[in-house]
Amino acid sequence: MAQPIRIAPSLLAADFTHLADEVRSVEQGGADWLHLDVMDGHFVPNLTFGAPMVAALHRLTKLPLDVHLMIDEPLAFLPAFADAGSAIFTVHVEAPGVAGPGWPAPVRSRGEGGTDGPAPEAKPHVIDHARLRATLAAIRARGMQAGLALRPDTQLEEVTPVLDAVDLLLVMTVYPGFSGQPFLDGPLATIERAAEFKRAHGAQFTIEVDGGIEASGTGPRAARAGAEALVAGHGIYRQGDPVAAIRALRELSR
């Protein structure tokens, strides 16, 4: 029997003028995690919040905090986010300091609803796997689950040497930076390959998907591809009934 999909509402789409109420509504509505997007204005063209906000949210909710760092040199902030109460600490393999110097996105996200254009064909990148493994070990050493995020231009095969050290693999179906962007089809193949890798190797990491997820179309497609956790911002918080949106997403199974 398929396991229920975990649901992680993305707080970036919530009404920040009623933050406590927004957190409480999804907690009572049955969310599994609370997804927090941390952006620095460098790795992505947007700026959100940092460890103090995570600490405040940790006091507001019993939900595990699924912290997604879209920042340069995330290890520099590892102690602060661990002390703030992060349960999952997800870093981008493409970010400087994670697996080497990093590399820029071929497409930059641009506000709610779009990017600068179609993404070019993905090409292999230079990754220092020893450094990446050390990054993941440092996260786990602070008592958090180690998450690794892949942009649409990064292939699963580029990180397979370290998947034994990953607790959560976050496949992005948009270029990170802004909520409300349209779902990209290309990463569905990455989700499928990740699911096949798990079956073939008995791997235990959770496949999470983030970007343009909603219950009526993209959520089912991600679930069929092998997603085990769904992040949804607009797909939950911008719906007429966020609780009903959570329930609809939870009904999806692999």
Provide the annotated active-site residues.
37, 210
CA terminus-to-terminus distance, the chain: 9
Let me know the angle formed at the C-alpha of 225 by 223 and 228, rounded to the nearest 5 degrees. 45
Q: Where are the alpha helices (DSSP H) in the chain?
A: 19-28, 51-60, 78-84, 129-141, 187-201, 218-225, 234-237, 242-250
